[in-house]
Amino acid sequence: MTISEHLPALVVVLPLMAAPACVMLRHPFAAWLVASGTSWLCLLMSALLLRQVADHGAFSYQLGNWAAPWGIEYRIDMASAFILVIVSAIAAVVSLYARASVAHEIEQSRQYLFHALFVVCLSGLLGIAITGDAFNLFVFLEISSLSTYAMVALGRDRRALTAAMRYLVLGTVGATFYVIGVGLAYMMTGTLNMADLAARLPAVIHTSTAQAGLAFLVIGIGLKMAAFPLHFWLPDAYAHAPSAASAFLAGTATKVAVYAFLRMVVGVFGATGILAVAAMADMLMVVAVLGMVVGSAVAIWQTDIRRALAYSSVAQIGYVLLGISLLTEAGLAAGIVHLFNHAVMKSALFLALGSVFLRLGSVRIADLAGIGRRMPLSMAAFLVAGLSMIGVPLTVGFVSKWYLVEAILHKGLWPVAVLVLLSSLLAVVYVWRVVEVMWFAKPSALALTAVEAPLSMLVPTWMLAGAAVWFGVDATGTMAVARAAAAVLMTGVGQ
């Protein structure tokens, strides 16, 4: 038994163990060191797992050596390994940034709590990605959610408390729906193992119990991933959470929820063929398109830029869902690659904004006038990531758009393709409006006081902004992984 065999367990357990360590250390810097070191280790382990899957194919890890379907199985295939890498990469980069940002935004006596919650959340998110057990997924969902609520509540003013409370109520409703859905499926099949569920569901899918289970799952996970029209909790949460938390959550939390959707709805229930038969896929498409348009439109008029970015996330989740709703491998691949691409660019935007908040204490659009001249490097990163949101060629946003449009046209859905591209024009407005104020307006009195962000925040911001260009120029790697992941998830649906 070597350590490498236990990587699947370690990648979840290590951050979970790091949390009490943070709490016991209490010292902000020590706690940060533990959290950041853990995040980077998780990234290393995730990358190793991805390589293992790429080299030798999917494999399982039996927790405690209890064989599936009775024991809990961790299942690592292309889809889960990709999500592991996305989540741990964002966590690693944000953790670098978190030290200075958290030191500024949270009072010293509570900073260690942030770092502890950060690793707990990371553990939960990685767990969701790696588990092959429907109920175990619920457990990790709760681990990540509870830590997230607390992280949001650590926000800078008291509105963070209301936002966290709302998020808690809605998140709990979502989690409850999810567990009801799993319960109903368990009732009909007697198993919680995903592979086992996928094998047994086709026989019982005609029952209204199983169908109701699916409905609960869809809405439950829909709440978690803030799909339109279940997104109302998201803008407040992102706007009032500490900057580092916003960046981390924007890049990971909704993505992992989408992964849960892919796994449970497409992977498990998709095998029954019900998605194609029932109006499910069509409804999903309508909701996705509405989300795309409404999210972008609302973002245009927001005065708090973090809220604008949160609404833009709602729109971006729409793109992903649209890809999924096509129920083709190409569509799924386009959705999955967008998970990565969106995580990179949206986190970069939030990190750049966090730097502004550090210097100005505000991210209202009026206060940002002329900030580009005072903080050129941070705001250049914002510009790069913003261009990527619009989908300018040679950025990741363009890669996503290209593959999504290709997949849509492959199904002959012309009007939808045009809608996708038109909604990207809305992105031009909400991004450009900010860029214009930042770079072209006369500096406000507040902006004149600002200086460039510290290196420990600039470097992570540019790591992500750079990645938005790097993977935009050469998308071969990300797209190959996304295709393989889509193939894994489609195995059931294709039949």
* Binding-site ranges for another protein (CB under 8 A): 165-166, 169-170, 173-174, 177, 208, 211-212, 214-216, 218-219, 222-223, 229-230, 232-233, 235-236, 274, 278-280, 283, 294, 297-298, 300-303, 311, 387, 390, 392-394, 399, 401-403, 405-406, 409-410, 414, 417-418, 421-422, 424-425, 428-429, 432, 436, 440, 475-476, 479
Least distance from another protein to the Cβ atom of residue 408, Å: 9
Q: Which is nearer to another protein, 255 or 483 (CB)?
A: 483
Q: Which is nearer to another protein, 427 or 464 (CB)?
A: 427
C-alpha to C-alpha distance for 347 and 216, rounded to whole angstroms: 30
Q: Which is nearer to another protein, 9 or 441 (CB)?
A: 441
Structure tokens at 419: 């809608």
241 three-class SS:
coil
Are residues 432 and 346 in contact, defined by beta-carbon separation less than 8 angstroms?
no
Least distance from another protein to the Cβ atom of residue 158, Å: 15
C-alpha to C-alpha distance for 494 and 331, rounded to whole angstroms: 13
Strands 73-76 and 59-62, sheet pairing: antiparallel
Q: Which is nearer to another protein, 5 or 436 (CB)?
A: 436
Q: Which is nearer to another protein, 322 or 358 (CB)?
A: 322
Least distance from another protein to the Cβ atom of residue 282, Å: 8
The amino acid at residue 419 is L
Q: Which is nearer to another protein, 29 or 440 (CB)?
A: 440
Q: Which is nearer to another protein, 222 or 270 (CB)?
A: 222
Question: Which phi and psi angles does 61 have, rounded to 5°?
Answer: -130, 120
The amino acid at residue 360 is L
Least distance from another protein to the Cβ atom of residue 222, Å: 7
Structure tokens at 209: 């119990």
The amino acid at residue 458 is L
Q: Which is nearer to another protein, 116 or 486 (CB)?
A: 486
C-alpha to C-alpha distance for 359 and 373, rounded to whole angstroms: 13
Least distance from another protein to the Cβ atom of residue 66, Å: 34
C-alpha to C-alpha distance for 231 and 293, rounded to whole angstroms: 14
C-alpha to C-alpha distance for 33 and 30, rounded to whole angstroms: 5
Q: Strand (E) positions, 6-47?
A: none
Least distance from another protein to the Cβ atom of residue 236, Å: 6
C-alpha to C-alpha distance for 299 and 296, rounded to whole angstroms: 5
Least distance from another protein to the Cβ atom of residue 294, Å: 6
C-alpha to C-alpha distance for 208 and 237, rounded to whole angstroms: 36
Least distance from another protein to the Cβ atom of residue 223, Å: 6
DSSP β-bridge partners for residue 73: 62
What are the C-alpha distances in Å from 257 to residues 123, 138, 250, 460?
A: 14, 11, 12, 24
Residue reference for tokens 């009909």 = 188
Q: Which is nearer to another protein, 277 or 459 (CB)?
A: 277
Least distance from another protein to the Cβ atom of residue 458, Å: 18
60 three-class SS:
strand
Structure tokens at 184: 């109903």
Q: How far is C-alpha 358 from the chain's CA centre? A: 24
Q: Which is nearer to another protein, 48 or 480 (CB)?
A: 480
Least distance from another protein to the Cβ atom of residue 154, Å: 20
